[in-house]
A = this chain, B = another copy of it.
Amino acid sequence: MSSQKLTQRLLVQKYGGTSVGSIERIRAVAQRVKRAREDGYDVVVVASAMAGETNRLLGLGAELSKRPDERELDALVATGEQVSVALLAIALNEVGVPARSFLGHQVRLRTDSAFTKARIKGIDAEVLLSTLREGRVAVVAGFQGIDDQGNVTTLGRGGSDTSAVAIAAALAQYGGKSVPCEIYTDVDGVYTADPNVCPSARKVHRISYEEMLELASLGAKVLQIRSVELAMKYAVPVHVRTSFGDAEGTWVVNEDESLESVVVAGVTSDKNEAKITLRRAPDGPSTNAALFRALADAKISVDMIVQNAGEGGMLDLTFTVSKGDLERAAEVVRAKFPGAEVGVQKDVVKVSIVGLGMRSHAGVAATMFEILGREGITVDAVSTSEIKVSCLIPSKYHELAVRALHDGFGLGA
């Protein structure tokens, strides 16, 4: 390792497909990277494929085979990021910022061999650090790595977020202090609710990893969920922001660094759930397990599960699956319990409140039910976790419920 020290602060910036979607946009990214350098940062840039490119490449593969070999698919789609980083390095050199592109094998971003959905095992920060020491920007292809045999692998959709966080974590381990990771995307941050549903929604300035995980899995879809898990594990401060302006976005940080000690951080909803209700099924010690094993064998994911003590040794059960799986799921249930009542319902929506503050504040669920009740909204099912309460309600109340909860918990203030 070189004895030369980095004199400046380290920063990782990740640009998504829209941000590098055209030659014009790539030039704008080069200007933004240049400004970060002028602000005193040593910058590692992670780039996704140009918008549309990954789908174009997958389309070529699909023309040749209904089930293309996954190793070859990974080699194919990895070219998308390779094109982006080479172009971005050219653009940076053109505006006087010395830059060098790096592919998965060049930064030894090692993964397992699960093609199309590989998981990162490690990364060699030294090649990046020596590039920074030479006064260069390192531009790293996101989404791709290599396995132990040198095969090209990819990390799954949105994997560039994970690449960026992993690089920030690796750089931090070298320097002994945390390295921030800016994620540039086409939204300008995380909101307290969907602004399309709730006009009083406002941008959250700081949010904890845990809250972000619950929001992401509930459909906020700003960051790939694995990137948030990784950021939490290595305490990487993540700044989600837009590349179409200079506004601050949302910082995703450790709980103790999250400024706002609010009870509820946000309201989210999921319209893709459907409900199955089973009544008067004969119950036994393993009935429940047998049912959900049969659903799992049919590759059907189950989300909410609500089980009541039924009358006289009978099982009463409600659960939700994604709308696309509803018919198949109902068949599985009917085959399992020929004599029971099986009801299905598609016009439902799950609304959830998420917040670390729930852990120390009693009565949050009660407040949620009161707010919904005041609006005349019936609740079909409830499930709770440590930092989340979800209610399944009729779809027609979707917007009303989100707005009422948002205002009721004081998020619009």
Residues of A within 8 A of B (CB): 23, 26-27, 57, 60-61, 63-65, 68-69, 71-73, 75-76, 78-79, 82-83, 85-87, 89-91, 93-94, 99-101, 103, 105-106, 150-152
Q: Which residues from chain B contact A83 at a C-beta distance below 8 Å?
A: 57, 60, 76, 79
Residues in B with CB closer than 8 Å to A61 are 86-87, 90
Q: Distance (Å) between the CB of A27 and the closest chain B CB?
A: 7
Among residues of B, the one whose C-beta sits closest to the C-beta of A26 is B64
Contacts of A79 in B (CB 8 A): 79, 82-83, 86
Q: How far is the CA of A65 from the CA of B92 in the complex (A)?
A: 10
**In the A-B complex, the 3 residue pairs with the closest CB atoms:** A76-B86, A79-B79, A75-B86
The docked-state distance in angstroms from the alpha carbon of A345 to that of B71 is 58
CB contact under 8 A between A91 and B75, given known A60-B23, A150-B106? no
| 6 A-B interface contacts by CB (under 8 A) | A27-B64, A72-B93, A75-B85, A82-B82, A103-B152, A106-B150
Q: Are A65 and B90 in contact (CB under 8 A)?
A: yes
- Once A23-B63, A26-B64 are accepted as A-B contacts, the answer to whether A69 and B82 lie under 8 Å apart by CB is no
Contacts of A94 in B (CB 8 A): 64-65, 68
The contact of A150 among B72, B85, B87, B105, by CB within 8 Å, is: B105
Within 8 Å by CB of A75, from B68, B69, B82, lies B82
- Check B82 against A64 for contact (C-beta < 8 Å): no
CA distance A26 to B79 in the complex (A): 18
- Residues in chain B near residue A68, CB distance under 8 A: 90, 93-94
Chain B residues whose CB sits within 8 angstroms of the CB of A27 once the complex forms = 64
List chain B residues, Cβ under 8 A from A71: 100-101
Extra A-B contacts (6), CB below 8 Å, given A68-B93, A72-B100, A79-B79: A23-B64, A27-B64, A61-B90, A71-B100, A72-B87, A72-B89
Say yes or no: A65 contacts B86, CB within 8 Å.
no
Report if A101-B86 is in contact (Cβ < 8 Å); known contacts: A65-B91, A91-B65, A93-B69. Answer: no
- Report the bound CA distance from A105 to B78 in whole Å: 14
Nearest-Cβ distance from residue A214 to partner chain B, whole angstroms = 38
- Residue numbers in B under 8 Å from A65 (CB-CB): 90-91, 93-94
Cβ contact of A101, chosen from B60, B64, B75, B87, cutoff 8 A: B75
Q: Kindly report which residue of chain B lies nearest to residue A141, judged by CB atoms.
A: B75
A264 to B354, CA, bound (A): 86
In angstroms, Cα B90 to Cα A65, docked, is 7
Complex CA distance for A82 and B27, rounded to whole angstroms: 26
Contact call B87/A64, Cβ cutoff below 8 A: yes
Q: Taking CB as reference atom, which chain B residue is nearest A82?
A: B79
**Contacting residues, chain B, for A23 (C-beta < 8 A):** 60, 63-64
CB distance from A343 to the nearest CB of B (A): 44
